[in-house]
Structures are given as C-alpha cells and as structure tokens.
Amino acid sequence: MFPDARFVDTNGLRMAVYEQGSGPAIVFLHGFPELAFSWRFQLPALAAAGFRAIAPDLRGYGQTGGPQDVESYCVAELIRDIHGLLDAEGLERAVFVGHDWGAILLWQMAMIAPERIEKIIVLNIPHYPRTPIDPVEHARQRLGDDFYIVNFQDSDEADMAFAADPVHFFNVVMRKNQISRARFDTLPRQMKVLSLLKTMARTESSGDALLSDVERDYFVAAYERSGFTKPINWYRNWTRNWQALEGVDPVINIPTLFFEAVDDVIIMPQHVESMRDLVTNLDIHRLEDCGHWSQQEKPGDVNRVIVDWLTAT
C-alpha cells in the first residue's frame, strides 16, 4: 500500500512527502504528468532492501501545490525545494532517482549544486549538452508549433484541454506498448512530432493501458484538485533555465546509473551514447520493450537493477 503523505516546510512550500523504510536515504523525483505515486513500486522494494525511500510531490503537483506565477517554477526554486527537503529530513546528502522532468531537475542540480548528491539514478532522459540557441526556438525550428513543449509556451490551450477531461487524458497519455523503436524509425518526420493536443483528440489509442482503473483514478483525483497549469509551468521556464546554465560546467563526476528505455521514442540512441563525454562515472542499463514510463512499465527490472547497483558501488 502506498504510504500516506506527511508534510514538511521547504522554501515556502508545504511539501507532501511519502516515505518507507530506514537506512541510507534515496529521494525519488517524478516527472510530468506524474506524482510521487509514480514511485509506488519502488518505495516498498527499496525499503525491503534496507533503504529509506522518500518520494515528494514536487512543486505544483499533488498535495504540495505552489504559487501561480511562471517564474516560481525555475530551476533555482526547484533546487531550493529539494535542499529544504533534505534539511527538513536531517540529510546532508542523498542518492537521487529522477524520471522525466525529475531527471532534468536532477541533471541540473548535479551541475549547479552537486555537493548534496551522493549518487544519481536517472530513467529515460539523458544529460544533454547546452544548446547554442534558446532550446524552445530550437524545438520550434525542428519540430514546429504543434510539438507539446512549444505549444505549452504559446498558450494555455493544453492546460484547459487536459483539465476538461483528466480521465481521458490519463487514458490516452499513460500507455505502454504503443510503438517499437524499429517501427518509429520508419515513420515520416511529420508523424514523429509529439502533440499532446492531438493525442487528446483521439478516441482510440494504440498499445495498452499502463494504469489500472484505481491507479488512474488516483492521478485523476490529484489533478482535479490541483489542475495542470502549475506542472506545465515547469516547461515555461525552459528558456529561463537555459539562460541560468550559461557558463556552468556540464561535466558531471557523480557516480551515475542511467536506464535507457529502448522504445521511449522521444529519446534518440545517439543522445544516450553522447552522455559518455559529459558523465565521467556512468553505467547504462537498457530496458528492452519499454517506453517512457519505465518505473511503472518495468518495476521489477528497475528495482532489481537499482538495488544491485547501489549495493555494488
């Protein structure tokens, strides 16, 4: 059973935190459109292996909530949230696990404030070198206005569409076995652009449901309370975060485990391999037949590899 939330004060937030176990601390950072509940398979497994597993609802999500303004979701504020969490928990350092936006935050934290990170475990999203131009403009040029990250900058159309029918949103977005890497690579370029608005417009979806009805309803209830705008505000700081990283050394020397999900087709294999020049102490584990929602699609494999890696390093 997923634990009940308790609350800690950090950086002006009342952060909801879910915890199991005792021992060395592992902090789990979720992505979009997720919650601490996304780690429901990892917390008991890591607790059983002798670790203290801690998963917060991050700023703007779930029971944590947050302010309305976009600027409050920049990387500097997000890192202060995590440092305040560590302080509240009496932790000088911790192992961190990140997926999706949680992975991006973790990479940025490793560059800006590495002193509080013991080890890094990242699922799906590799460490990218800083682009020479504004990444939003770069994405607009390459992928067009329909690309979901670009669309998020231009209007609140997505916020309203997702909030109007969150049951349908989670039914069509959180899926597995949708398309293989081999099949995706054969598609024309225009069919490779991820538009969440077009995804929402579908009445039928490929692949299989990732969530049971009970699990889906947990996510739905949380987003009915909090809405989608605050989580989407993380994306609206893409340019601001890029500016903040100007001149920051991108090389990371912290021991790192990376999970490459073969069928997460947003990520190119060359992006994973190129990390070897930026992450000096890197182990890569491939998850076959796995898409974007790795820790929920392949919980047994993810848990086993994490425990083995932590106990061996």
| Active site (annotated) includes residue 292 | yes
Quick one: tokens of 95? Answer: 């192992």
- Smallest CA-to-CA distance from 239 within 126, 12, 73 is with 73
Per DSSP, the three-state class of 94 is strand
Mark whether 100 is an active-site residue.
Answer: yes
CB 71 within 8 A of CB 240: yes
Q: Write down the catalytic residue from 57, 81, 100, 263.
A: 100
- Alpha carbons within 13 angstroms on the beta-carbon side of residue 278 total 18
Residue 121, amino acid: I
Burial 270-281 (b: 16+ CB within 10 A, else e): eebeebeebbee
Contacts (Cβ under 8 Å, ≥6 apart) of 125: 31, 98, 99, 100, 103, 104, 107, 267
Residue 219's contacts (CB-CB under 8 Å, 6 or more residues apart) are: 33, 34, 35, 37, 166, 170, 174, 211
Contact status, residue 261 vs residue 103, Cβ threshold 8 Å: no
The rounded distance, in Å, linking the Cα atoms of 275 and 262 is 16
Positions marked catalytic: 100, 292
